């Protein structure tokens, strides 16, 4: 963990945000050595940050003890080169417990997952994230999705809390997000508040989000095809519309169509992709299920097609 502001560190490196899967051994237990290997490979491939034990990392399926071991392994693997953010969720008391465990493990920040099960009002959401922000010295990013959807006025309240560094949007309502960006810009002038495209395959909506100034995004594909994901990120950053369109049409759009073939594929299909890439990270824990064999075969063909696209002239 460094003393540099999290917002500065997240924007200093030009690359996607890496959400590693959590590897399990043949007996189903956490494999921290394999996790270090997976995380280190992502850093070497150009990730701007590592988000440990979040959605793709099966936060919901980890015990608090496993969580602490995994976050510490991620911190060790990155060697301080890029920031490590860890998931923190469930009700407020448990979210605080996970946040403190992440801080003790050396994490640089938190991704605050939606509260468990309940559908709170805006005042309750503000209380929840305020208590979480005050519980540690870590900056946190609030994750908007499912039962945690914020009005622009609520995000303004959250942006006034120094420890809340930004908003990850997994909702995809660009009208709401634009109104939110405008409200924070107007009501909290000078605040370096970050916004992330956090949809399951964010590359598909990268052009739309970039149009309203949101350039940071999480890349699920980076976990298993970092070369394809980095090529897309670089093309999007420099305005190479031809390469962006080629990878969207030939890889990312078909990937989304395949992902939509099964429940939980935003996690389990990614994990299958990591296995296809040669790292035996095991399957997903229940209540998720591994993809059907036919879908794994289709993913293997799609990976081959995506890499072939990299060989085509720009």
Give residue 14's pLDDT band: very low, low, confident or very high (50, 70, 90): confident
Query: What pLDDT is stored for residue 4 in this prediction?
Result: 57
Q: What is the mean pLDDT of residues 24-49?
A: 97
Q: Is the pLDDT of residue 5 over 70?
A: yes
Q: Is the pLDDT of residue 289 over 80?
A: yes
Query: What pLDDT is stored for residue 184 in this prediction?
Result: 98
Give residue 2's pLDDT band: very low, low, confident or very high (50, 70, 90): very low
Q: Is the pLDDT of residue 1 over 50?
A: no
Token duo for residue 135: 């519980």
Q: Is the pLDDT of residue 65 over 60?
A: yes
Query: What pLDDT is stored for residue 233 in this prediction?
Result: 97
Reduced to 3 states (helix: H, G, I; strand: E, B; else coil), residue 18 is: strand
Long-range CB pairs of 304-310, under 8 A, 24+ apart, other chains included: 305/250, 305/251, 305/254, 306/225, 306/228, 306/247, 306/250, 306/251, 307/225, 307/227, 307/228, 309/228, 309/246, 309/247, 309/250, 309/251, 310/227, 310/228, 310/231
Q: Choosing from 129, 168, 195, 265, which is the catalytic residue?
A: 168
pLDDT tens-digit map of 182-210: 999 999 999 999 999 999 999 999 999 99
The domain ranges of the chain are 6-238
Q: Answer yes or no: are the C-beta atoms of 69 and 63 closer than 8 Å.
A: no
Reduced to 3 states (helix: H, G, I; strand: E, B; else coil), residue 85 is: strand
Quickly count: other Cβ atoms within 10 Å of residue 245's Cβ: 12
Q: Is the pLDDT of residue 3 over 60?
A: no
Q: Looking up tokens 């429940």, which residue turns up?
A: 263
Q: Choosing from 129, 143, 217, 265, which is the catalytic residue?
A: 143
**Percent of the chain having pLDDT more than 70?**
98
Q: Is the pLDDT of residue 64 over 50?
A: yes
Q: Is the pLDDT of residue 285 over 80?
A: yes
Examine the residue annotation and report whether 143 is marked as an active-site residue of this protein: yes
Q: How far apart are CA 248 and CA 84, in angstroms?
A: 28
pLDDT tens-digit map of 158-169: 999 999 999 999
Query: What pLDDT is stored for residue 6 in this prediction?
Result: 83
Query: What pLDDT is stored for residue 8 in this prediction?
Result: 83
Query: What pLDDT is stored for residue 314 in this prediction?
Result: 66
Examine the residue annotation and report whether 129 is marked as an active-site residue of this protein: no
pLDDT tens-digit map of 83-110: 999 999 999 999 999 999 999 999 999 9
Q: Is the pLDDT of residue 237 over 80?
A: yes
Q: What is the mean pLDDT of residues 211-230?
A: 97
The domain made up of 6-238 has a fold known as TIM Barrel (3.20.20)
Q: How far apart are CA 90 and CA 98, in angstroms?
A: 9
pLDDT tens-digit map of 130-180: 999 999 999 999 999 999 999 999 999 999 999 999 999 999 999 999 999
Q: Which pTM does this prediction carry?
A: 0.95
């Amino acid at each position: 963990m460094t003393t540099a502001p999290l917002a500065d560190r997240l924007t200093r490196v030009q690359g996607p945000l890496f959400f590693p899967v959590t590897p399990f051994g043949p007996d189903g237990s956490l494999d921290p050595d394999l996790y270090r290997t997976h995380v280190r490979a992502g850093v070497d491939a150009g990730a701007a940050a590592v988000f440990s034990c979040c959605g793709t990392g099966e936060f919901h399926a980890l015990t608090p003890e496993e969580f602490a071991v995994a976050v510490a392994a991620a911190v060790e693997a990155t060697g301080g080169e890029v920031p490590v953010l860890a998931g923190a969720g469930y009700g407020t008391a448990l979210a605080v417990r996970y946040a403190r465990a992440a801080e003790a493990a050396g994490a640089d920040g938190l991704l605050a997952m939606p509260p468990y099960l309940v559908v709170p009002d805006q005042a309750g959401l503000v209380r929840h994230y305020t208590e979480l922000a005050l519980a540690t010295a870590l900056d946190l990013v609030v994750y908007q999705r499912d039962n945690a959807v914020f009005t622009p006025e609520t995000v303004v309240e959250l942006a006034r809390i120094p420890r809340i560094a930004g908003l990850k949007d997994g909702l995809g309502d660009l009208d709401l997000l634009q109104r939110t960006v405008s409200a924070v810009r107007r009501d909290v002038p000078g605040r370096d508040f970050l916004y992330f495209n956090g949809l399951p395959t964010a590359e598909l909506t990268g052009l739309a989000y970039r149009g309203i100034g949101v350039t940071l995004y999480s890349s699920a594909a980076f976990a298993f095809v970092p070369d394809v994901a980095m090529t897309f990120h670089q093309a999007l950053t420099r305005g190479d519309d031809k390469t962006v369109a080629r990878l969207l049409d030939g890889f990312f759009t078909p990937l989304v169509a395949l992902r939509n073939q099964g429940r939980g594929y935003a996690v389990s299909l990614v994990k299958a992709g990591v296995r296809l890439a040669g790292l035996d990270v095991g399957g997903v824990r229940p209540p998720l299920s591994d993809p059907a064999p036919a879908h794994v075969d289709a993913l293997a063909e799609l990976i081959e097609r995506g890499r072939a696209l990299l060989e085509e002239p720009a």
